[in-house]
Amino acid sequence: MNERKPDPRPMIRLDDFLKAAGVVGTGGEAKVRIQAGEVLVNDEVETRRRRQLFTGDEVNWNSQVWRVEVTDDD
* pLDDT for position 74: 47
Mind listing the domains of the chain with CATH numbers? 10-61 (3.10.290.10)
Assign 64 a pLDDT band (cuts: 50, 70, 90): very high
| More confident site: 10 or 3 | 10
Distances (CA, A) of 43 to 1, 26, 29, 32, 46: 33, 24, 21, 19, 9
Nearest to residue 19, comparing CAs of 27, 11, 31? 27
Q: What is the DSSP letter of 3?
A: P
**Residue-wise over 12-28: b if at least 16 C-beta within 10 A, else e?**
bebbbbbbeeebbeeee
pLDDT at position 4 over 90: no
Q: How far is CA 46 from the centre of its chain?
A: 9
